[in-house]
Chains A and B, each alone.
Chain A
Amino acid sequence: MDEIVSVEAVTRRFPMNDDQTHNLVSALSDANLRVMAGEFLAIAGPSGSGKTTLLNLIGCIDEPTTGRILIEGVDTSKLSPGRTSTLRREKIGFVFQTFNLIPVFTALENVEYPLLVQGVGARERGKRAAAALESVGLASRAGERPDLLSGGERQRVAVARAIVHRPALVLADEPTANLDTHNATQLIDLMRDLNRSLGLTFIFSTHDQRLLEHTPRIVRLCDGQVVSDSGDGGNNG
């Protein structure tokens, strides 16, 4: 199994207020993590433990203060902003806590968006987006705008959007935080099914203990430090 993510001695500090040099607060300290292709991994921990920071760093939307992160063997700290953007576009899918769908697009158009950015032709885009919506059970809601969808449906559209371009890695930051238990469980089951059927690697953050029961590998964070890793870098899928 190929290693897809390698987090090596990563620290992330943020300046307090506008002071860029002094009074730094550490959100993540000396974190190490290895994720193999096809894994289904949860990053757990209480609020403020550094889950979002770690996901942002793995997703290349933030840069570590020290240490380095490799995606499929590529050191992301050495990439230009343009190459980083390309890496995100091609290799990573994102699911956000607040869904973050484009409100003026329909469900289908939202799912098409990553393909649009990749320059995929309209017909191919439509076909693949429809298939992705089908895979999350929302083919019948393709023409609806996000404001007409329930929270669970919106998050499933977000999942379809994250997987439509077959990324190497799907990152989901607290994907169930705004969902009730029923929808949350359904979403985790859906992600798990996609992980199994398509071989997609999923890394998601949560502090919901119930969801962790469905998760084969759990990395626990506390005060910015990795305190436990149930999988220890192996594939527990």
Chain B
Amino acid sequence: MAKDVKPTRKNLMAIDDRIDLSERGHGTLEKKRDGLIMEFMDILDKAQDVRGELSDDYEEAQKKINMARAMEGDVAVRGAAAALEEHPEITTEAKNIMGVVVPQIESSRVSKSLDQRGYGVLGTSARIDEAAEAYEDLLESIILAAEVETAMKKMLREIETTKRRVNALEFKLLPELYENKEYIEQKLEEQEREEIFRLKKIKEKKEQEEKQEEQATDEETESDEAVEQATAGGVPGGD
């Protein structure tokens, strides 16, 4: 990975910025993850309670309907159920828990009074009332369980996502960025050293050339002087 990065100062600065951002992001996400886990634990406790209640309500409702079917007869219970006109309704709204949108379910017309269940009151019995009431309670519990368990699942999914992001930052992105930074720094240092060395060489070469030039000049001067001296002493036999 590090080989793909151009070892330039600009890239180094960009990587520094990214490291800074990633570290801040990592910290924030860690806090979010911890916060979500705490919220999740609360919801989990609630969900366990709701599940327990749901299970109890289901057992109770089954017992009541079984008793009603046994004592009043299946036909009577079916008839009473058929008389129901107003069916329960639910509406959902969104609620935000640490950035996670969870549903808030509002129910209406679940629990009914004696005259709202549709069947005549004068000729029916408490067994049917109690079976109807037990099923209304069960339905309330199911709606509550749906709300809590959906919230729990969404929170769990968000915790997983956040955890993956934290881990990706901690074990992948940040190490890579540090590696790239180190690579670029090393490269830049190397380049600097090479530059210094190159400059040194150039300087040496220049100095050498200068020296050679100087030497050559000296030699020329000397030879000129010799010529002059020779010329001034006359050439024997030349006068």
- The answer to whether A binds B is no
Residues of B that sit less than 8 Å from A by CB: none
